[in-house]
Structure 1
Amino acid sequence: MDSLITAAARALAAGDPLSALKRVALRDDAPALALRGIAMAQLGDFVRARALLKSAARAFGSREAVARARCVVAQSEIALVSRDLGWPQAALAAARATLEAHGDPVNAAHARILQVRRLLLVGRLDEAERALDGLEPALLPPATRAACALVTAGIMVRRLRTRAAAASFEEARLAARAAGIPALSAEIDNAARILHAPAARLISLGTERLLQLRDVEAQFASGALVVDACRHVVRRGGALVSLASRPVLFSLARALAEAWPNDERRSLLIARAFRGKHADESHRARLRVEIGRLRAELKGLAEVRATKHGFALTPSGKEGVVVIAPPQEDRFSAVLALLADGEAWSSSALSIALGASPRTVQRALEHLERSGKVQFFGKGRARRWLTAPVAGFPTVLLLPGPLPGG
């Protein structure tokens, strides 16, 4: 490899794409095309970067399997950053296998981290943790070590293990400082702010207050009966009952929890659960049926007893009842939670991440756009949606994936 290519590669590794371009901007050989593509990606021109990397992959000969695999890894990272979740993951897995087989552990580790980042993005935390098994960060260069620590912190945040997340963020900061890449340090500092941002509201005894993630974690571990309006579950300690697919039962559970230790009137329960303005005998009969179903679901966690005017919730433990709710409640909160990362998403990528139909996501985006909460650029398949992060918005507790703390 000639000296200009070596110098350009070193500049890119140090996070200096402009210096790299000065050395290879006028060259069209395969290594120069690949480096130019990576430089354009670092500068944010993903369209040009994709084209250059595709050209580089074609230009490398069939005997240059490692170079071609590196181009695939770079294309995968661009797809991830631009939220192209439909990009073929089999190609990245094959590239990683090639790099491992040909003795390039650093780029193979980078490919693995990209796989983990995508799994984390779509809420597949168990798979993400398994994919990290066997990776030895101590053997990696500082920039890759920082990326590994950052993705580990992301998993710990989603698991609501805030101490472990804080330790991983600090590890990432130290590695980024050793790498000497200011943009990487800024990315880590920005990601770590989530530990200190409002993540939920605590509703108890008629009062409300904002909670940080560590406070939510503490509530889950407190032994109190927690009605979690972020994930639509009722939990106490390690016991958990999901009511995500039973909205009427969850509405009743939340109404009773917010009224605790008092009872809630039948008319108000009917209004919240069935959205009935006037309670008639059919509503009362249905309420009795649904309360019976709720009793069965909460057996062992709490009792639902009838009172003169309505129903009351009685927890099995002594720690009381609390409701954990998003700071801002909106029926499209899950879409906003994903968009709050500041990246530009396609509607198809949102559909994949949320596990919802494309039409459902499109209707949500159109509603949010009319209300001024999101905006778009581009047309057709190139259209992308984004929003500025909203202060205090629960970007973790509403994201897809396993239940936090479970």
Structure 2
Amino acid sequence: MDALIGAAARALAAGDPLGALDRVALRDDAPALALRGIAMAQLGEFGRAKALLREAARGFGAKEAVARARCVVAEAEIAFASRDLGWPAKALDSAIATLYAHGDRVNAAHARYLTARRLLLTGRLDEAERRLAVFDARLLPPALRAAHELVVAGVALRRLRSQAARAALARAERAAREAGIPALSAEVESAARVLHKPAARVIAGGEQRLVLLDEVEKLFAEPPHRAQSTRRPLIIDACRYAISDANATVALASRPVLFTLARLLGEAWPADVPRDTLIAHAFRAKRADETHRARLRVEIGRLRAALGTLAGIDASSRGFALKPRHASDVVVLAPPADGEHAAVLAFLSDGEAWSSSALALVLGASQRTVQRALDSLAAAGKVQPVGDGRARRWMTPPAAGFATALLLPAPFPS
């Protein structure tokens, strides 16, 4: 390694991409191309960065497997930062194996963090935790340790473990300060602000209020003694489309009509809901006729069967009412900013630029459905496109003041 390459690498490690470019901007050998690619990525020029890294990987010889693997890792980091979640994960796994085989444990650990980050973004929390558990973060350099703790905090937030998230963010803040990289410190600070923003709305007794993640965690917490199990309410979670009490959980994410009916009944509890209101919201019918009423009876029967031991549904002269079997209260947990496309906005509010294909992947929806949602949000001025064609990305400033951990994909807490 010559002096300029070494100096450029040290500048990048310190978060100084312009200083790195000053040293290698006019060189086109493989190491210089790789460093230029990383510098461009740090400056936000992701398209140019990927092109430079691929050119660098081709320029390294057959005996330079480690250098090629490092290029793969850098390209993967750019892909995930630009929310290109369809990037081939197998290539990253192969790079990890190469780096470990040649003793480059620091870059291998960084690559493992990237795989965990992708799993976190796509809601595969169990796999993300397994990836994080295989190495000791204390052995990592400060910058990588901060990145590792950010993923740990992200998993804790999705699991509704606010104390664990707070502890991980504190460790990330110390590591970022030790690394001395302003951009990393800013990222940690931005992540920590989630804990101080409203995470959901609680609707009960005809009233609603915004709550922080700590309060949501307490809502789902198991009572300290089994004899007090009736104190936990029946929770109709409109963030994760599930219903639970202290004893059981029923997921209705794949049955939107049933969940809509359950939410309407929960918001009105202990009163009943008129049949015409249920039909208008669940079936989107402007005028109810006998076919709608017959369908409503069928869907209410299905909802009774799905709720099982959680609650019953009683018919009244004008409609239906929810009757919890074990809980003494009913609470609806709704997104802080309600609306038809709240889940799409939840992802975009992280301030990153997302492709419609990445949004479709994490939402489990078709790309066409996501595109229609994006067009609707753009028409309302809530999101904006950047770029054209396959390079188009969607983003919105994170100025809504809401945390979105509850809207991101995660298994419903049991």
TM-score range, shorter chain: over 0.9
Shift of 1:27: 2.4
* Residues 1:360 and 2:369 aligned together: yes
Please, which moves more after superposition, 87-96 or 306-315? 306-315
Deviations 1:20-48 (A, max 9, x none): 22222232222222112111111112222
Aligned to 2:331, the other structure's residue is in SS state: strand
The residue correspondences of 1:120-135 to structure 2 (distance < 5 A) are: 120-135=120-135
Equivalent in 282, 306, 309 of residue 315 of structure 2: 306
**Which residue is 1:44 aligned to?**
44
Equivalent in 285, 294, 299 of residue 294 of structure 2: 285
Shift of 1:255: 1.6
Deviations 1:369-402 (A, max 9, x none): 1121111122211111111124244522222332
* Residues 1:142 and 2:139 aligned together: no
**Which residue is 1:188 aligned to?**
188
Q: Whole-Å Cα distance in 2 between the matches of residues 54 and 27 of structure 1?
A: 16
Q: Write the letter of the residue equivalent to 1:343.
A: E
Please, which moves more after superposition, 274-283 or 314-323? 274-283
| Structure 1 stretches lacking a partner, 5+ long | none
Q: CA contact under 8 A between 1:4 and 1:24: conserved in structure 2?
A: yes
**Which residue is 1:168 aligned to?**
168
Deviations 1:99-149 (A, max 9, x none): 000001100001011111111111111111122121111111111111110
Aligned to 1:84, the other structure's residue is in SS state: coil
Q: Give TM-score, length-normalised by structure 2.
A: 0.93
* Residues 1:269 and 2:271 aligned together: no
**Which residue is 2:225 aligned to?**
none
**Which residue is 1:212 aligned to?**
212
Aligned to 1:343, the other structure's residue is in SS state: coil
Deviations 1:323-377 (A, max 9, x none): 0111222222222111111111222222222222221122221222112111112
Aligned to 2:262, the other structure's residue is in SS state: helix
Shift of 1:184: 0.4
Q: Write the letter of the residue equivalent to 2:129.
A: E
* Residues 1:344 and 2:353 aligned together: yes
Q: Write the letter of the residue equivalent to 2:80.
A: L
RMSD over aligned CA atoms reads: 1.8
* Residues 1:327 and 2:361 aligned together: no
| Residue-pair matches, total | 405
Q: Write the letter of the residue equivalent to 1:334.
A: A
**Which residue is 1:253 aligned to?**
262
**Which residue is 1:77 aligned to?**
77
Shift of 1:319: 3.6
Q: Give TM-score, length-normalised by structure 1.
A: 0.95
Deviations 1:297-338 (A, max 9, x none): 112111222334432222223441000111222222222111
Q: Whole-Å Cα distance in 1 between the matches of residues 55 and 374 of structure 2?
A: 35
**Which residue is 2:304 aligned to?**
295
Q: Whole-Å Cα distance in 2 between the matches of residues 107 and 360 of structure 1?
A: 38
**Which residue is 1:117 aligned to?**
117
Q: Whole-Å Cα distance in 2 between the matches of residues 243 and 332 of structure 1?
A: 18
Deviations 1:8-65 (A, max 9, x none): 2111111111222222223222222211211111111222222221222122111111
Q: Write the letter of the residue equivalent to 2:76.
A: S
**Which residue is 1:388 aligned to?**
397
**Which residue is 1:106 aligned to?**
106
Shift of 1:278: 4.3
Deviations 1:215-240 (A, max 9, x none): 11111226210011112211113511
Shift of 1:244: 1.9
Q: CA contact under 8 A between 1:243 and 1:249: conserved in structure 2?
A: yes
Aligned to 1:289, the other structure's residue is in SS state: helix
In structure 2, the CA distance between the partners of 1:41 and 1:286, relative to structure 1 (3 Å rule), is closer
Q: Whole-Å Cα distance in 2 between the matches of residues 163 and 191 of structure 1?
A: 14
In structure 2, the CA distance between the partners of 1:389 and 1:318, relative to structure 1 (3 Å rule), is same
**Which residue is 2:407 aligned to?**
398
Q: CA contact under 8 A between 2:194 and 2:402: conserved in structure 1?
A: no
Q: Whole-Å Cα distance in 2 between the matches of residues 257 and 335 of structure 1?
A: 24
Q: Whole-Å Cα distance in 1 between the matches of residues 59 and 291 of structure 2?
A: 73
Shift of 1:3: 2.3
Q: CA contact under 8 A between 1:199 and 1:392: conserved in structure 2?
A: no
Q: Whole-Å Cα distance in 2 between the matches of residues 268 and 31 of structure 1?
A: 66
Q: CA contact under 8 A between 1:347 and 1:362: conserved in structure 2?
A: yes
